[in-house]
Copies of this chain bind each other. A is one copy, B any other.
Amino acid sequence: MSNDAPTGDRPAPAQDAPHRIRRLPQRGSYDRAVIDAILDEGLFCSVGIATATGPAVIPMAYARRGDELVLHGAPASRLLKTAAGGAPVCVAVTLLDGLVLARSAFHHSLNYRSAVLFGVARELTDPQDKAAALQAVVEHLLPGRSADARPPNEKELAATRVLAVRIDAASAKRRSGGPLDDAADDAWPCWAGDLPLALSPLAPRPTTQGVAPGPPPAAVAAYERPRRTG
């Protein structure tokens, strides 16, 4: 079964490493190609931080830029401010691939691919660095878009905090394929299998502000996320 095959890729990190996969390690991987494919396909991440009163998790846009994950937001954002100050962060990107409808309630599951990374963010302060990182965020949404849109001006750059987290202590986990029921349930009388789910674009809607835009470019009209199986 594809979801039970050991990945045989990079060796697991030390026992106490934060990104070491403990549960169902056969579903895990430390392979950068696997991790990067998930990061490149996802559109939002869940950023976790530990505050004085407990953990906080916030969804954010992001982009992978080489060996780093770029986050951005308002300078006043508490989470970004805390992360910029050196507090460790954990970033998870999860792609939902389907429902696993087993014969037994116990073996119901989700098919998914997820990447989780742990690290300390560095803040980008040079306006050119910030502009390049923010360009990656726009390109991540739609490749080629940053050549078409108005680039950020000085004021906009100043009004944006940009952080980068190294993709270093990172791991991926995934489940795919059908249910894994016990043989004793082989004849249980209900339908069983998996139901793939995919994020699909609907019809683009032109802005109602300013000059009416013409028809959407092909990249928007036939939008697709990059998808590599790895």
Would you call A103 an interface residue if the criterion is a C-beta within 8 Å of the partner chain's C-beta atoms? yes
CB neighbours of A198 from chain B (8 A): 199-200, 202
Interface residues on A, range: 35 or more
Provide the residues of chain B in CB contact with A137, threshold 8 Å: 108
B88 to A55, Cβ gap below 8 A?
yes
Decide if A216 is an interface residue (CB 8 Å cutoff): yes
A22 interface residue (CB < 8 Å to B): yes
Query: What 0/1 pattern do residues 32 to 48 of A give for CB contact below 8 A with B?
Result: 00000000000110111
Does A101 lie at the interface of the complex (its beta carbon under 8 Å from any beta carbon of B)?
yes
Residues of B within 8 A of A56 (CB): 18, 48, 90, 116, 118
- Are B54 and A89 interface neighbours, CB within 8 A? yes
Asked if A135 is at the interface of the complex by the 8 Å CB criterion, the answer is yes
Which residues of the partner chain B approach A118 to less than 8 Å between Cβ atoms? 54, 56
Residues of A within 8 A of B (CB): 18, 22-23, 43-44, 46-51, 53-59, 61, 73-74, 76-78, 87-92, 94, 96, 98-99, 101-106, 108-110, 112, 114, 116, 118, 134-135, 137-138, 141-142, 145-146, 148-153, 156, 160, 178-181, 183, 185-188, 190-211, 213-217, 220, 223
